[in-house]
Amino acid sequence: MAAEDDALVEVQRVSVQFGSQRILRDISLRIPRGQTVVLIGESGCGKSVLMKSIIGLVKPASGRVEFDKRDMHSLNDKELSRERKRFGFVFQNAALFDSMTVGQNVAFPLKQHAGYSHAQIEELVISKLAEVGLPRTVILKKPAELSGGMRKRVGLARALMLNPELVVYDEPTTGLDPIMSDVINELILRTRRNNPVTSIVVTHDMHTARKVADRVVMIYPLVRLDEGEDQVLYDGPPEEMDDCRDRRVRQFVHGEAGERLMEMSLEDTSV
């Protein structure tokens, strides 16, 4: 793994709000090259917004996001498009094009790059599908003909097509059974072993967090924090989450709803 000061991604005191609703407040985060960071937290805490800020889809109200020492939000459209070619995106529901075949979906990132022959594209598609454990026989199938786990793997193959430096996974195991979820986890680990890649994984799945993360970052909803509290409740190795001094981290990690049920009861009586 790269040295700590060799940060591929650096988030500096980033705040995001939509209208009057604040989502993120003064978030700072350094991600060294080669590290896999898993973002966890309950629904609505802002982890997906943070991920979108990092890749330039959401502009912070304040603060700065750097990718490889460049401020993502000071780039013009052409520069931003060029930087995004260094990213790979694995979307929650695979986000495949239903009208295209598997082969056309996986080849899609190459459409913006001239100079590839049909034979070269086919060879690359077969290679990337093999990386995620899919046979060449799926090339002519449509996404609707595939299982949920297979669609996720096609989405991963597409994300890897341009050999990205940063791969972002948005809820990669959502909707999958435990066995297929672990297949996806193993593929995330294999991708890291086979490629010099940095990864950000947004998930609720604690098995995924424990298995693939070098580092876990837990974000807490602003509406449930005091004004001076840090929104990042935990930032450290997965094996130390169980012993975190903050009870909110332990409750989330172990899926304990008792305190939240009490809070929800108080909210109901206040209406």
pLDDT in tens, 18-40: 998 999 999 999 999 999 999 99
Whether residue 140 is predicted with pLDDT greater than 70 in this model: the reply is yes
User: What are the respective helix, strand and coil percentages of the chain, to the nearest 5?
Assistant: 45, 25, 35
Domains within the chain, CATH numbers bracketed: 1-85+211-271 (3.40.50.300)
Q: Helices 247-254 and 258-270 meet at what angle, rounded to 10? A: 100
Residue pair 40/53 in contact (Cβ under 8 Å)? The answer is: no
Q: What average pLDDT does the chain have?
A: 89
* pLDDT score at 93: 75
* pLDDT score at 1: 44
Q: Which tops the pLDDT comparison, 255 or 67? A: 67
Exposed/middle/buried for 46, CB within 10 Å: 0-12, 13-18, 19+? Answer: buried
Strands 215-219 and 232-236: antiparallel
- Strand, helix or coil at 100? coil
**Any residues with CB less than 8 A from the CB of 174 and at least 6 apart, and which?**
92, 93, 204, 205
Tell me the mean pLDDT in the region 140-160.
Answer: 93
* pLDDT score at 256: 81
> What confidence tens digit (pLDDT) does each residue in 216-230 have?
999 999 999 988 899
Q: Which tops the pLDDT comparison, 187 or 264? A: 187
> What confidence tens digit (pLDDT) does each residue in 112-122 have?
666 778 888 89
Task: Work out the pLDDT band at 2, boundaries 50, 70, 90.
Answer: very low
In the chain, pLDDT over 90 holds for what percent of residues?
70
Whether residue 107 is predicted with pLDDT greater than 80 in this model: the reply is yes
Tell me the mean pLDDT in the region 254-268.
Answer: 62
Whether residue 67 is predicted with pLDDT greater than 60 in this model: the reply is yes
* pLDDT score at 3: 46
* pLDDT score at 114: 62
Whether residue 102 is predicted with pLDDT greater than 90 in this model: the reply is yes
Whether residue 175 is predicted with pLDDT greater than 70 in this model: the reply is yes
> What confidence tens digit (pLDDT) does each residue in 68-93 have?
999 998 988 888 888 888 999 998 77
* pLDDT score at 94: 75
* pLDDT score at 45: 92
